[in-house]
Amino acid sequence: MKLNLVLAGAFIAGLALPALAQTSYFIVQDAKTKHCEIVDRKPVSREMTVVGGNGVVYHTRDEATTAMKTVKVCTSD
């Protein structure tokens, strides 16, 4: 009985860990300066807005960097 519980716990942990390790990247724009940056957490303040809508999520930083080069609302330095 204990072995079944241990195996069930290990199985659930094995399924949950990859989902927790997945990182998402967002392109956000500072409302004052209009400069964009890549962040790994969705902003909650009104000072930063997600560029491209709420549904746009990049799974790698390289993917977000490539996409940021094509965004027209971001100013370049």
Average pLDDT over residues 69-75: 80
Pairing of strands 26-30, 48-50: antiparallel
Q: Is residue 12 part of a domain?
A: no
Tens digits of residue pLDDT in 14-67? 666 555 556 899 999 998 888 999 999 888 888 888 887 667 888 899 998 888
29: which 2 tokens? 């724009």
Q: Is residue 49 part of a domain?
A: yes
pTM for this model (two decimals): 0.64
Q: Is residue 9 part of a domain?
A: no
Q: Is residue 75 part of a domain?
A: yes
The strand ranges marked E within the chain are: 26-30, 36-39, 48-50
Q: Is residue 72 part of a domain?
A: yes
Domain range for 57 is 23-77
pLDDT value at residue 54:
64
